[in-house]
Amino acid sequence: MTDIMSSPAVKQAVKQAAAAQQSATQQSSLQQSATQPIRAAVVRAAELARDAEEHARARQHAKGKGTARERLDLLLDTGTFEEIGRFRGGDINGGRAGSAVITGFGDIYGRRVAVYAQDFSVRGGTLGQAEGEKICHLMDMALDLKIPIIAIVDSGGARIQEGVAALTQYGRIFRKTCEASGFVPQISLILGPCAGGAVYCPALTDLIIMTRENSNMFVTGPDVVKAATGEIISMNDLGGGVVHATRSGVAHYLGEDEADAIDYARTVLAYLPSNSQSEPPVYAYAATRAERETAKRLAEIVPDNDRQPYDVTDVIRCIVDYGEFVQVHELFAASAVVGFACIDGHPVGVVANQPNVRAGILDVDASEKVARFVRLCDAFNLPVITLVDTPGYKPGADQEHAGIIRRGAKVIYAYANARVPLVTVVLRKAFGGAYIVMGSKAIGADMNFAWPSSQIAVLGATGAVNIIHRKDFVKAKEAGQDVEALRAKFAAEYERTTVNANLSLEMGEIDAMIDPEQTRDAIAESLRLLAGKRRRRLNDKHHGNGPL
């Protein structure tokens, strides 16, 4: 990490300055010991920098937290951090080292990123005019350089003493974040408190990462909640990492600790390009016999019984390179699975229904999870691989009242507007509206495949015959016939003529029927075919007005 203390001469000068205790002969001794004269102002600044970090360690380590600089050391490749504005907002003569945020640039896996880390040891990490100006300047540079922006958040919010000046800086950061949205990847690491209006800075970014301990996000804290409603609730129960990763969906990943959270940020960036005008990185990959043997396992993972659950992540790991799959929103809306992987060394986004959780049904939360991830992939040029096994949208008054119409439509909007390569495989069942929205040919997918046992229809056989033949069942019951035997007969006939994928093949909605072990090859070949797909502007509208 580049630092004012990184120079051996400055380090030695600071040590001697401390030993000399500001004696009258200090300056001459410093000049004699260093390879070249070091100005007293530089020594003073270096002393402030050293003391500030010692103070930060004392305060943060007592809480089980790292300092802002220690976090940057973990995030960035060793020795690549170049700080800008180190003493901006400080008062060197007055003994104040700088503002409550550190800004600069560094590398992650050899690729340049912009970073800022709030320093809770300085005025509680609060944001005032100096901090806001530093962050906005960094973001302007990141946009000019077209590189990702990573924020490490640990702050008490707006600095009350600065009033509207502090609030104004949040407004500027909001606007800059919106300007950067979809242009460069933006990741927020919440490693401390984030409260009030400050929560909307990370909320506007692509990914939010929290930890089990110390991470908190809420618009109004426990004291305000108690005063306004009388409810007594802890910070963790109100807005801790577990709550936001499992219930609200605000957090996309829950780290066990700071190191785990930071490692996840580094991992995710390895799949994303530096900006929307660039292609994702490509990695070396060579197929081996082990991968071919793994592909054969696909035929054994999915049960023939369409009501029997299985873990779709097992399917995903048999398809992607080395079985490596990085989930996003793993603990939220678990009936859908989304995440990053590679096919033949090329990063892709994977979307799948999870039959292990509520049969892989689409509800309000799963819909938003899928929609947001597809939009992220489309913004940054990652092809989307969709694996379908769902009985449809979740029925019920609770879902209707929660906005399944509005929120379910987000999946449609995401897929219909996506311009990256879209490849879909129906693994077992795809019924009703869920079939349409989960990357169907009609919604805009480029290549669609189905496994031989797949079922595609408006409804499953049992539900369909209950509607189609309801009068026949009434008559059979009145005549004393075996209604269940008749229902089974009609269901078998419906499956033979309607539910199987043959009709979709004949209509061209499915491009090919493939055996399970062919899945990876079919996807890889499709991606090679679609590598030249280019975006095109369909009309001159400013932007769409999708369901929000």
pLDDT of residue 28: 47
pTM for this one?
0.89
Q: How far apart are CA 326 and CA 346, in angstroms?
A: 14
Domain stop point among 271, 306, 334: 271
| pLDDT over 80 at 363, yes or no | yes
User: How are beta strands 207-211 and 186-190 bridged, if at all?
Assistant: parallel
What is the C-alpha to C-alpha distance for residues 32 and 9, in angstroms, rounded to an integer? Answer: 11
Same domain, 347 and 213: no
Which residue in this structure is represented by tokens 């799948």? 352
What phi and psi values does residue 424 have, to the nearest 5 degrees? -125, 140
Residues 319 and 449 in one domain: yes
On the question of pLDDT at 27 being above 80, the answer is no
Q: Which of 196, 240, 392, 460 is catalytic?
A: 196
Shared-domain flag, residues 48 and 194: yes
DSSP classification of residue 21 = T
The model's confidence at residue 11, banded by pLDDT at 50, 70 and 90, is low
Task: Give the pLDDT score at 45.
Answer: 62
Residue 245 lies in a domain: yes
| Domain-located, residue 365 | yes
Is residue 239 domain-shared with residue 166, that is, in the same domain?
yes
- pLDDT, one tens digit per residue, over 164-206 is 999 999 999 999 999 999 999 999 999 999 998 899 999 999 9
pLDDT tens digit sequence for 487-505: 888 777 777 676 666 667 7
For the packed helices 8-20 and 40-61, what is the interaxial angle rounded to 10 degrees?
90
Closest C-alpha among 215, 214, 211 to residue 199: 215
b/e map of 194-223 (b: 16 or more CB within 10 Å)?
bbbebbebbebbbbbbbbbbbbbbbeebbe
Backbone angles phi, psi at 405, to 5 degrees: -70, -55
Q: Do 226 and 187 belong to one domain?
A: yes
Average pLDDT, integer, range 106-123: 95
Same-domain check for residues 206 and 300: no
Annotated catalytic residue 90: no
Q: Residue 255's domain is classified under what CATH number?
A: 3.90.226.10
**pLDDT attached to residue 344:** 96
Nearest one of 95, 189, 93 to 148, comparing CA atoms = 189
State the amino acid at position 305 in one-letter form.
Answer: N
State yes or no: is 197 an active-site residue: yes
How many domains does one find in the chain?
A: 2
In sign, the C-alpha dihedral spanning 43, 46, 48, 50 is negative
- Domain span holding position 176: 40-271
Residue 322 token pair: 């080395």
pLDDT band at 54 (very low <50, low <70, confident <90, very high): confident
Mutual orientation of helices 312-319 and 289-296 as an angle, nearest 10°? 150
Are 378 and 238 part of one and the same domain? no
Let me know if residue 524 belongs to a domain: yes
The DSSP result for 31-85, as a single string, is HHHSSS---HHHHHHHHHHHHHHHHHHHHHHTTT---HHHHHHHHSPTT--EEE-
Q: Do 375 and 242 lie in a common domain?
A: no
Judgement on whether residues 315 and 194 belong to the same structural domain of the protein: no
Q: At what angle do helices 68-75 and 40-61 cross, to 10 degrees?
A: 90
Same domain, 376 and 519: yes
> Do 310 and 206 share a structural domain?
no
Please identify which of the residues 433, 444, 463, 546 carries the catalytic annotation: 433
Task: With respect to residue 134, please indicate whether it lies within any of the assigned structural domains.
Answer: yes
Query: Does residue 455 belong to any structural domain of this protein?
Result: yes
Residue 411 lies in a domain: yes
Domain end residue (candidates: 215, 242, 271): 271
Asked if residue 24 belongs to a domain, the reply is no
**316 and 227, same structural domain?**
no
Residues in contact with 435: Cβ distance below 8 Å, sequence separation at least 6, in sequence order:
388, 390, 392, 426, 456, 457
Give the pLDDT confidence of 259-269 residue by residue, as tens digits: 999 999 999 99
Decide if 196 is catalytic: yes
The residue from 213, 238, 271 where one domain ends is 271
pLDDT > 90: percent of the chain: 64
Point out the catalytic residue in the list 251, 430, 434, 464.
Answer: 434
- Is 366 a member of any domain? yes
Give the Cα separation of 184 and 148 in Å (integer): 5
